[in-house]
Amino acid sequence: MTDITTDRTGSAEALVIEGLRKSFGAHQVLGGIDLSVAQHEVICLIGASGSGKSTLLRCVNLLERIDAGSIWLGGQLITARGVDENLVRRHVGIVFQSFNLFPHMTVERNVTLAPMKVLGLSRVAATERAAELLGRFGLEEKRADYPDRLSGGQQQRVAIVRALAMRPRLMLLDEVTSALDPELVADVLDVIRELAEGGMTMLIATHEMGFAREVASRVCFLADGQIVEQAPPARLFSEPSDERTRRFLRRITDAGRL
């Protein structure tokens, strides 16, 4: 099987985005995003709802067609014409706010479907891979359950496992705790923390500022479709340089979320 993300340049950059623009009709959501992410880096995207965080992640996964700019994944231009998006997606896992598990399949089948149908793994090999991942995240007992039997936190952890089963090089997490009851958030954050410690390169859109401060190697503040400011969390949260960042963080602080 051809591996399109073979790193020919030997660069340490896992992901490079240049001049990315995306509009929905007349409404511009991303107005020229530049961002580069090194291997093993954890980038947190923060910003108000509608600032373009989700759209940015969906563009990287090629779920949205971009209007202008380019995206390189491990040194390969994935936004070129004729690139097989299914090949790209094998290497980029995405987890959604609303879990999006397949409701008609058991937890195990949710996790083994793509490795079997996309990577061509045998059922035995895929099941083994699923069992290992489910066990690692405390879900082995849920193996035979259907998603509607699981709590939101469990569903979201299964969704993360489902993405991990493809052994992606990059994980995109789109506000994965926003749809959860507060007491279920911690379990999911633990999983992400473990991934970060394991060296997974991640792009995380989040409203959990405390979490961003803790796990991020860099935090990017998005507003009006631009990355207004990016810095290590310690600096961005304590001495933001842009007025818009300050205003956003003040509102968050006032709401008791920081």
Partner 1 sequence: MQDLPEPGPPELALPNLAARRSRLLGDSSRRGIVLSSTSTVVVLAALVAIFALAPGSAVVRHTFLNPTDMWRSFLGNPRAGYYSVGEAIWLNIRMFLAAEALILILGLVVAVIRLSTGPVLVPLRILATVYVDVARGVPLVLFIFMIGFGAPALRLTVVSDQSAAVYGVAALVLSYSAYVSEVYRAGISAVHRSQVAAARSLGLSQWAALRHVILPQAIRNVIPPLLNDFISLQKDTALVGLLGAIEANKAAEIYGETVFNYSSYVVAAILFLVLTIPLARFTDHLIRRDQARRLAGAGQ
Interface ranges with partner 1 (CB under 8 A): 58, 61, 63, 85-87, 89-90, 93-94, 96, 98, 100-104, 113-114, 117-118, 148, 162-163, 166
Residue closer to partner 1 (CB basis): 101 or 209: 101
Q: Residue 214 CB, nearest distance to partner 1 (Å)?
A: 27
Q: Residue 81 CB, nearest distance to partner 1 (Å)?
A: 16
Q: Which residues contact 27 (CB under 8 A, 6 or more apart)?
A: none
**Amino acid at the residue 192:** I
Integer Cα distance of 184 and 178 in angstroms: 11
Tokens of 243: 């007025």
Q: Residue 213 CB, nearest distance to partner 1 (Å)?
A: 28
Residue closer to partner 1 (CB basis): 10 or 25: 25
Cβ atoms within 10 Å of 34's Cβ, excluding its own: 13
Residue closer to partner 1 (CB basis): 71 or 114: 114
Q: What is the DSSP string of 88-132?
A: HHHHEEEE-TT----TTS-HHHHHHHHHHHTS---HHHHHHHHHH
SS3 235: helix
Helix residue ranges per DSSP H, the chain: 53-60, 85-91, 107-117, 123-136, 152-164, 182-197, 209-215, 233-238, 243-254
Q: Residue 28 CB, nearest distance to partner 1 (Å)?
A: 22
Q: Residue 12 CB, nearest distance to partner 1 (Å)?
A: 25
Residue closer to partner 1 (CB basis): 5 or 245: 5
CA R_g for the chain: 18
CA 135 centroid distance within chain? 22
Integer Cα distance of 159 and 165 in angstroms: 10
Integer Cα distance of 19 and 72 in angstroms: 12
Residue closer to partner 1 (CB basis): 154 or 230: 154
Residue closer to partner 1 (CB basis): 58 or 218: 58
Q: Residue 97 CB, nearest distance to partner 1 (Å)?
A: 9
Residue closer to partner 1 (CB basis): 163 or 223: 163
Q: Residue 90 CB, nearest distance to partner 1 (Å)?
A: 4
135 to 5, 108, 149, 157, 212: CA distances (angstroms): 29, 11, 18, 11, 26
At 208, give phi and psi (nearest 5°). Answer: -85, 90
